[in-house]
Amino acid sequence: MVRKSADERRAEVVRAAVTAFARGGYAGTSTAQIADAVGVSQPYLFRLYKNKKQLFLAAELHCHTRVRDVLAQAAEGRTGEAAVKAMGLAYVELLQSDSALLRFLIQAYAACDDEEIRTAVTDNWTRMWQFVAAMAGAASLEEVRPMIQQGLAITVIAAMNPPEGHPLWLCVDEIRTRLNALEGN
């Protein structure tokens, strides 16, 4: 059996934490559940992450980094509306393909009654907004505000997962239509 390094275990623990927190939220998930999912002891988990909040914050950063990486890959070699379109469609696809990430994002928003978590979530979203603006070649954050608003609406609707054909999906379809109508089809 090959021993994993602390960095490999940390990454494994964060992935398990995303899944566990996505299901149970910050308050409803124990570190014992996460340790069991990875097959490590709770004391070992606390050597990797000082406490549950530090682990939650690491999972939140992991999710934001994943979204950012997907958007960067989608926008690569594009500018302006073509970059916006590519990032928007990639985000929709990411949410549809990674339900744990989607549910974790919603749980992170719900955990914002904790000041430290709220600060991390809002700081990460501010950086995301700035990143999207830069990738789109926007002169100001205001130029990409509609894209951020649409992304948040898609996140909430996808998390609700209404039945196929439900009117809420019309919002997602309308956003897709707008994205597809952008320059650079």
pLDDT recorded at residue 185? 47
| pLDDT of amino acid 92 | 87
CATH number of 6-181, picked from 3.30.420.10, 1.10.10.10, 1.10.357.10, 2.120.10.30: 1.10.357.10
- Per-residue pLDDT at 152 exceeds 90: no
pLDDT value at 171 more than 90:
no
- Residue 178 CA to residue 161 CA, distance in Å, equals 21
Is the confidence at residue 175, as pLDDT, over 80? no
Per the CB < 8 A criterion, the answer to whether 81 and 184 are in contact is yes
Q: What is the pTM of this model?
A: 0.88
Higher pLDDT, 45 or 176: 45
DSSP labels, 145-182: HHHHHHHHHHHHHHHH-PPTT-THHHHHHHHHHHHHHS
Give yes or no for residue 176 having a pLDDT over 90.
Answer: no
**141-154: average pLDDT:** 84
Structural domain spans, the chain: 6-181
